[in-house]
Amino acid sequence: MGAQRNDEVTKAEWRAKLSAARAAVTVQRRVAEAAALVRAVSAMSLPDTVCCYVPFGSEPGSIGLLDVLRDRGARVLLPAIPAEPGPLDWAEYTGTGSLRAGRLRRILEPTGPLLGPGALAAAGLVLLPAMAVDHRGVRLGRGAGFYDRSLAHAAPGADLVAVVRDAELVERLPAEDHDVLMTGALTPGRGHVRLPL
């Protein structure tokens, strides 16, 4: 991005840059990163309930990450995208057979009973998709705002962890007043990193 400082680059510019970098990631690297994220989660202490997501496209992660959470005894809640803009709904993940194509193409959602946006409050750990996260905990999403509206329902003290590639944990992103700060990042190379750094 030239000689500009990271915080002088707009969110749109960040998203374009990160999308291009993600498009260049090979399938082999995605598989290796997904396995590394599974190992990192396996080393974490888990609460009774974890909110997570099903990655799509070039997002880091895998369904294997959901399975290891369940295998370790956590109740796993996944988002269901509402018809109207607002906070995400949640339903329990009970295995790959409990997933179906969701409202937005390519995004798999749980088929179980919807528990409402307030179900997020049951989670001691929330693993969130992100384009990037900075050392202060500022998360850059895709821009739809579903997670920004949802995190108001998170329990006080819940760990909010952005799942990103190592290069997507950056020094500084542009921030807005409504941004909810992450308490950590989960990366393939560094595992669970506490934020702020």
Q: How far, in Å, are 33, 44, 56, 125 from residue 65 at the CA level?
A: 11, 12, 13, 14
For the chain, 197 residues long, give each residue's pLDDT as a single digit of tens.
Answer: 333 445 578 999 999 999 999 999 999 999 999 999 999 999 999 999 999 999 998 999 999 999 999 999 999 999 999 988 889 999 999 999 999 998 877 789 999 999 999 999 999 999 999 999 999 999 999 877 899 899 999 999 999 999 999 999 999 999 988 889 999 999 999 999 999 99
User: Per this entry, what is the length of the chain?
Assistant: 197
Place of tokens 């807005």: 176
Whole-number Å distance between alpha carbons of 19 and 143: 13
Over its C-alpha atoms, the chain yields an Rg (Å, rounded) of 16
Question: Among all chains, which residue has been given the structure tokens 């900075």?
Answer: 134
Phi-psi region of 152 (alpha: psi -120 to 50; beta: other; left: phi over 0): alpha
